[in-house]
Amino acid sequence: MPDQVQVVQAATSRLIDEVDHQAVGGATFRGEQYDRGLAFVHHPVGLGGLGLSPNLQGVIDEMLAEAKVPPAFASNPIGVGMAAPTVMTYGSATLQERLLRPLFTGEEIWCQLFSEPGAGSDVASLATRAIQDGDEWTITGQKVWTTLAHVARWGMLLTRSDPDAPKHRGLTYFILDMQAPGVEVRPLRQITGEAEFNEVYLSDVQVPDTMRLGDIGKGWSVAITTLMNERASIGGLVLPRGGGAIGEAIESYRSFGAPQESLDQLMQLWCSAEALRLTSLRAAAQRIQGNPGPEGSVVKLASAELNQRIYEYCVDIQRDLGLLYPDYTMRRPALAGVHAESLERTTTQAFLRSRANTIEGGTSEVMRNILGERVLGLPAEPRADKDLPWSQIPKG
């Protein structure tokens, strides 16, 4: 009887042979992949999986990469990397059946509605209110730095349903229809001219209770699932050896030439990038198993800072050319820059975009706190407001 590896290898080979991804298009190919149980192989049959070991997803992804099939993650990074595991963990059978397939195909893009103007790094202090009235909730508030909200069909929304509970205990988590009345999306223009981030205003938005994930007041637990998968998906994005930013640095060195000390610097960057790539492999393995470990946070922190150093190097060795950036016209990209490695852009644009790397997905300061407290077991920072009702915590 064939083992599980042979089963998924045979199924993936049939998919590649029977469906020409270039002819049918990415969404149709991914739909076939989902229907054949090769999207999330550890999911039950009918929900994009075959009920097999999650480790086998790596076998499938590797075969598709060899066949030059673009990964589903690239078409819907927040949906595939963050929403799918959250919906699978906390969603009803009805929500799983309705949401997972178009999420994987990229036909319905997702965004994350956590950060607020007064609650960035301290997400649990958010103020967006959710008031229940029977089977409906009325939600009012403002979110900020919402990646891809301008193209999103659904949003992962964290709200405050009980202002008299301590800040971590009075939260409730919803899936928000981004096309619902009362949802307004405004662009936030970046230093590159792009506007992939947004402000989102929620004015008496009606959300059915059937779109709630987790128990009322237990939204923080659901949010932790999302956040851990966010960091794991960023940290688990494995590039080929010498690919990504370090590959651009090598090409810049070859194209522009540089003194010996620049070659020494390039070699140091390459060694750091290779060590990071190997750690990313471990993070990806943990994510596939549905059990994100500390590797994701380690790679998120290290990759953000290394990315900035690499593009600083590229701009430096390009000399005057590295100072030129020809087009600051506001653009509304369909993909987030942090995940758009395959998109055409100049090295200078990548340098400017990299300034966001140490902020998005958790600031480097937050990452260091998480690793210090939860991985190394160092004493936590004093939190005077930990057990206070949120309504009694001084604001501003």
Q: State the average pLDDT over residues 286-292.
A: 58
Joined together, the tokens standing for residue 310 give 């690499």
Closest among 189, 187, 212 to 200, alpha carbons compared: 187
Residue 274, pLDDT score = 93
Q: State the average pLDDT over residues 374-386.
A: 81
Residue 290, pLDDT score = 54
Average pLDDT in the chain: 88
Cα Dmax for the chain:
71
Residue 341, pLDDT score = 40
Say how far apart CA 334 and CA 328 lie, in whole Å: 17
Residue 55, pLDDT score = 81
Checking if the pLDDT of 235 tops 60, the result is no
> Which has more confidence, 183 or 331?
183
Residues 6+ apart with CB under 8 A from 241: 274, 277
Choice among 25-29, 103-107, 275-279, 307-311 with the minimum mean pLDDT: 275-279
Q: Token match 């902020």: residue?
A: 359
Eight-state DSSP code of residue 322: G
Choice among 24-28, 79-83, 166-170, 381-385 with the minimum mean pLDDT: 381-385
Checking if the pLDDT of 299 tops 80, the result is yes
Say how far apart CA 254 and CA 251 lie, in whole Å: 5
User: Which pTM does this prediction carry?
Assistant: 0.87
Q: State the average pLDDT over residues 302-311.
A: 94
Residue 234, pLDDT score = 62
Checking if the pLDDT of 187 tops 90, the result is yes
Checking if the pLDDT of 202 tops 50, the result is yes
> Which has more confidence, 259 or 253?
253
DSSP states along 160-196: ES-TTSBTTTSEEEEEEETTSTTEEEEEE--TTSB--
Domain ranges of the chain: 4-105, 110-218, 224-375
Joined together, the tokens standing for residue 250 give 């090598």
Say how far apart CA 169 and CA 385 lie, in whole Å: 13
Residue 233, pLDDT score = 62
Give the containing element (helix H, strand E) for 198.
strand 197-208
Share of the chain above pLDDT 90, in %: 56
Looking at 1.10.540, 2.60.40, 1.20.5, 1.10.10, the CATH number of the domain 4-105 comes to: 1.10.540
Checking if the pLDDT of 2 tops 80, the result is no
Closest among 173, 176, 232, 273 to 361, alpha carbons compared: 232
- Residue 220 phi/psi, 5-degree rounding, is -65, -40
Environment class of 383 (CB within 10 Å of its CB; exposed 0-12, middle 13-18, buried 19+): exposed
> Which has more confidence, 298 or 204?
204
| 334, 151 Cβ separation under 8 angstroms | yes
Q: State the average pLDDT over residues 360-371.
A: 84
Residues annotated catalytic, as ranges: 230
> Which has more confidence, 381 or 234?
381
Checking if the pLDDT of 18 tops 90, the result is yes
Give the containing element (helix H, strand E) for 112.
strand 110-113
- The architecture that CATH gives domain 110-218 is Beta Barrel (2.40)
| 279, 285 Cβ separation under 8 angstroms | no
Checking if the pLDDT of 237 tops 70, the result is no
Residue 269, pLDDT score = 96
Give the containing element (helix H, strand E) for 129.
strand 129-133
Residue 238, pLDDT score = 66
Helices in the chain by DSSP H: which ranges? 4-18, 21-24, 26-35, 57-66, 72-75, 77-78, 84-90, 93-105, 219-235, 245-256, 260-288, 294-317, 347-353, 364-370
Q: How far is C-alpha 74 from the chain's CA centre?
A: 10
Joined together, the tokens standing for residue 289 give 């198993």
Residue 342, pLDDT score = 37
| 124, 387 Cβ separation under 8 angstroms | no
Share of the chain above pLDDT 70, in %: 91
Buried b (16+ CB within 10 A) or exposed e, 303-324: bbebbbbbbebbbebbeeebee
Choice among 39-53, 61-75, 88-102, 312-326 with the minimum mean pLDDT: 312-326
Checking if the pLDDT of 244 tops 90, the result is no
Determine the topology of domain 224-375 in CATH. Butyryl-CoA Dehydrogenase, subunit A; domain 3 (1.20.140)
Say how far apart CA 253 and CA 349 lie, in whole Å: 18
Q: State the average pLDDT over residues 29-39.
A: 97
| 93, 135 Cβ separation under 8 angstroms | no
Q: How far is C-alpha 286 from the chain's CA centre?
A: 16
pLDDT in tens, 97-149: 999 999 999 999 999 999 999 887 788 999 999 999 999 999 999 999 999 99
Residue 214, pLDDT score = 97
